[in-house]
Every structure is written in structure tokens, then in C-alpha cells.
Amino acid sequence: MPGKGAAWEIREGDETRPLPVDLANFTYDRLGGYGTDLGSDITRIDAAPLIAWVEQSVPAGHSPGEGYVPQPYMQLATTLRDIGAESAADAVDYARLSHRMKTRERPSDWLVDLASKVFVGFGVYPERALYWFAALVLAGWGLARWSPDLRARGIWARFFYSLENAMPLIALSQGFESYDHSPNRWVANFYHFQKIAGFILATVLVGALTLLGG
């Protein structure tokens, strides 16, 4: 790729030819000739045009976007990782899993993919789970003011109650076990939801990371 705005192409010596449209089983081991206004550091490569190239590829006998075809994505991600472009490779992995989600035939599989995408970025961006967990804890912290028992405690006691309640498989500290949220039953219902949501969030995170690693 000679410069910004130029098209990717195959170069063999002094000869060049367009990239293939059908990428099935098309393999390569390096990307070169990259240059932008940021310099020539290929580890900072923009993955967007490469993802667009893969997404527009049409395997023989298929229509664009028909069926899950992971190999072109995986080849591109592997090549990017080999040259140190980790961020771009992550973007390609995310695009591959988004492609898989679009081609799901069973609603249950699509829903699982949707949960994985929203909560942990398909496992490619697991830090999203931390953002959701933080939101869950902050919501519980804020709602604690409507619980008579919690309102009587200090602000940090309310925070740690919410934190412990949101953490899966963690029992509440002895001082928190007897808290009664009456008469605001909806507050008690939220804390039940918070505990379940924390468990589901952890399960989705572990599952997504396991599938991505496999």
C-alpha cells in the first residue's frame, strides 16, 4: 500500500496485480509497503480497509455475506499479529465474530452471540464486562439511599454492600446479611437482580474468552 488512500494490491517483484475477490484458502504471510501521515509504522495500521476487503469477498458459488466464512478473517488476523499489529488484529477478530452472528440460523445462537457482543465484545474486548460491572455496582450504590437499613449507614458502607452483592459466588459480609430493604420492596428486587446479573456477566465473560481461545 504506497500511501494513504491507495488500494491494496499484490506485488511480486516489479509486477502488481489486484487482490482476489474470492479469498477462500487465499494465504499470505506479510503486509508491506504501508505508509500514512502517521509514518510507516505498520503496527499502527488501520484495519478498516482490510476488513472491508474481506467482507466484500465472495467465495465461489456464494452471494456476498452468505454463510459463515471465517478463513479470510483468521488469515488476516494471524498476519497482523505476526507483524505486531495487535489492535488491528483484534478489530479483525471482532469483525469475524460479527460476521458469524449475522449468519446464525438459530435464534438461540444469535442471542448468545448478541450477549457476548454487548457485554464482552465477543471476548475480544473483555474490558466491556468491567464497564457493565461498574455500572451495576454504581446503580446499587445509588439505590441504597432508598433502603432504610443502608441509608442509616455511611456512604462507603453502602458502596461495599453493592460491590459485594454484585460479585458472583461471594457471600455478603456478616454485617450486611441482616439488612432489610422494607418497605421499598423494589429496592430488594433490584439487589436480587444485581446478584443474578453479576453471575451472568461473569459467566458470559468466561464463556466468551474460552470460545475465543479455542
Percent of the chain clearing pLDDT 90 (strictly above): 26
Contact assessment for residue 133 and residue 203, using Cβ atoms and an 8 Å cutoff: no
The pLDDT tens digits of the residues spanning 78-115 come to 999 988 899 999 999 999 999 899 889 899 999 989 98
- Between the alpha carbon of residue 59 and those of residues 9, 25, 72, 154, 199, the distances in Å are 19, 10, 10, 63, 41
Q: How far apart, in whole angstroms, are the C-alpha atoms of residue 118 and residue 122?
A: 8
> Picking from 29-43, 61-75, 124-138, which range would have the lowest pLDDT averaged per residue?
29-43
The answer on pLDDT for 3 being more than 70 is no
Is the per-residue pLDDT at 57 higher than 90? no
Q: Would the pTM of this model clear 0.75, i.e. be above it?
A: no
